[in-house]
């Protein structure tokens, strides 16, 4: 009887631990991100119920989140985080398991390719040209500006720039931007 109680005492704590969560998906909102506007990402994991693990997140722009504890006394999956990009481009966001103090790393990993477009100039601000394009001269007081290709074969942006009030978007093979409305 005594041996049975001792065996149960050691076995009970082992069954109390859930499987380590497995990172399996990242999504971003909005899917069409813009420079200077926050992007919300959601990281999902299977076997997350009652599990605890450490998470490493790389935003793809040189910024990294320090290893984060998930589950236990901390927020559980799905995990929602925000980040703001300062330059247009395509970024690979990666979530991977990594030890965070006493939490072992999560299982699995997920990646997401996010395209961040340039934003139109805010009133009195500097306009942001799309990836592979650079500002030509200065923005005018009316908000109009022109971008020129920064490298040979610069592609037309998939989406038109959002132009300041009183201006409209234009594109040619040698320039794009926002011009004063007629």
Average pLDDT over residues 147-167: 82
As beta bridge partners, residue 39 has 83
What is the reported pLDDT for 71?
Answer: 92
Is residue 78, in this structure, part of any structural domain at all?
yes
What pLDDT is recorded for position 14? 38
pLDDT at 120 over 70: no
**pLDDT at residue 97 greater than cutoff 90:** yes
- E strand or H helix at 9, and its extent? helix 2-16
Q: Which of 10-19, 122-131, 154-163 has the lowest mean pLDDT?
A: 10-19
**Please, what's the b/e burial string for 147-164 (b: 16 or more CB within 10 A of its CB; e: otherwise)?**
bebeeeebeebeebbebb
For residues 41 and 110, state if they share a domain: yes
**How many structural domains is the chain composed of?**
2
Same domain, 79 and 167: no
CB neighbour list of residue 141: distance below 8 Å, 6 or more residues apart: none
Same domain for 110 and 124, yes or no, is: no
More confident residue, 170 or 142: 170
Q: Are residues 112 and 125 in the same domain?
A: no
Q: How confident is the model at residue 169 (pLDDT cuts 50, 70, 90)?
A: confident
Q: Which domain holds residue 162?
A: 118-182
Q: Which of 94, 116, 138 is the last residue of a domain?
A: 116
User: Would you place residue 37 in the very low, low, confident or very high pLDDT band (cuts 50, 70, 90)?
Assistant: confident
* Residues 122 and 92 placed together within one structural domain of the fold: no
| 108 shares its domain with 154 | no
Which residues on neighbouring strands pair with residue 34, listed in sequence order? 117
23 and 93, same structural domain? yes
Strands (E), the chain: 22-29, 33-34, 38-46, 52-58, 64-71, 79-84, 89-97, 107-117, 133-136, 145-149, 167-172, 175-180
For tokens 């959002």, the residue is: 162
pLDDT band for 125, please (50, 70, 90 cuts): low
Residues 33 and 72 placed together within one structural domain of the fold: yes
């Amino acid at each position: 009887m005594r041996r049975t109680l001792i065996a149960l005492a050691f076995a009970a704590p082992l069954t109390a631990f859930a499987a380590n969560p497995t990172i399996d998906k990242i999504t971003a909102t909005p899917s069409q991100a813009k420079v200077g506007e926050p992007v919300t990402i959601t990281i999902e994991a299977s076997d997350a119920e009652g599990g605890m693990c450490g998470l490493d997140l790389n935003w793809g722009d040189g910024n990294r989140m320090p290893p984060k504890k998930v589950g236990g006394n901390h927020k559980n999956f799905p995990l929602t985080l925000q980040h703001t990009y300062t330059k247009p481009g395509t970024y690979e966001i990666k979530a991977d398991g990594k030890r965070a103090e006493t939490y072992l790393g999560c299982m699995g990993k997920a990646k997401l390719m996010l395209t961040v477009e340039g934003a139109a100039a805010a009133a009195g601000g500097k306009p942001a040209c799309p990836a592979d394009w650079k500002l030509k001269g200065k923005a005018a007081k009316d908000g109009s500006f022109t971008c020129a290709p920064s490298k040979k074969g610069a592609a037309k942006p998939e989406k038109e720039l959002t132009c300041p009030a009183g201006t409209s978007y234009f594109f040619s093979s040698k320039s794009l931007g926002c011009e004063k409305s007629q």
